[in-house]
Amino acid sequence: MKLNLKIWRQADATSKGSIQTYPIDGVEGDMSFLEMLDVLNEDLINKGDEPVVFDHDCREGICGSCSLQINGEPHGPDRLVTTCQLHMRKFNDGDTITIEPFRAKAFPVVKDLMIDRSSFDRIQQAGGYVSVNTSGNTIDANAIPIEKENADDAFYAATCIGCGACVAACKNASAMLFTSAKVSQYALLPQGQVEATTRVLNMVEQMDKEGFGNCTNTGACEVECPKGISLENIARMNREYLSASLKG
């Protein structure tokens, strides 16, 4: 199929970018979206032009590296998939596709479609861990009985790959779905209780410092999340935050 691509080009973090148009031919339905961009880049390189820079790694939908706002939606029009798992059969011959980086003040553009998501790393570093002493007295985690429901919810929260689609979809560029998933995966488990109070306070404080917007419960994040992370996690984080604030 023939497509008309409108792609955000930006030379570096400080340059002013703009949308450029690239016609592309010979795209097949079985190609993934990133393979389609590979075809475009081969073409650009052959012509001696600068290829389009975009984030990618595993191309299996599990690493959280790929991003892209495709026709106004993070990871494109399909649901529960990342851009690398989005197939070109979701588009029609002659379509115009607008491709932009995930937009947020806390996700500055590095080049073209590549963004810096280290703000997520700093939120994680602020409390998204459990301290375990490896002194020789470590207890096997599987030896602690955990309610099935809590184990499942913690697991689902932990499936967040940190891609940033929640931020990209949110009209406020809020990172509450990501942060709440990272809070929830520990809040639901006994191993997470030791640092429960400081964890949520520190992670929310870091989230605010990074310049993300505030959640207004539109639910866009949950719809666009490639892993289907639930809004229940945000309610849980709000509860955790309130109870941690009261404890001091």
Point out which residues bind other proteins (CB under 8 A).
Answer: 6, 8, 19, 69, 71-73, 77, 98, 100, 103-106, 109, 169, 171-174, 176, 204-205, 207-209, 211-220, 223-224, 231-232, 234-239, 241-242, 245
Structure tokens at 198: 């400081």
Burial of 16 (0-12, 13-18, 19+ CB in 10 A): exposed
Q: State the minimum distance, in angstroms, from the CB of residue 245 to other proteins.
A: 5
Which C-beta is closer to other proteins: that of 86 or that of 169?
169
Q: State the minimum distance, in angstroms, from the CB of residue 71 to other proteins.
A: 6
Q: State the minimum distance, in angstroms, from the CB of residue 1 to other proteins.
A: 20
Structure tokens at 115: 């963004």
Contacts for 129 with CB less than 8 Å, ≥ 6 apart: 186
Work out the number of other CB atoms within 10 angstroms of the CB of residue 167.
Answer: 28
Q: Sheet of 69-70: strands edge to edge?
A: 18-24, 3-9, 96-100, 69-70, 73-74
Which C-beta is closer to other proteins: that of 104 or that of 157?
104
Which C-beta is closer to other proteins: that of 125 or that of 144?
125
Which C-beta is closer to other proteins: that of 52 or that of 106?
106
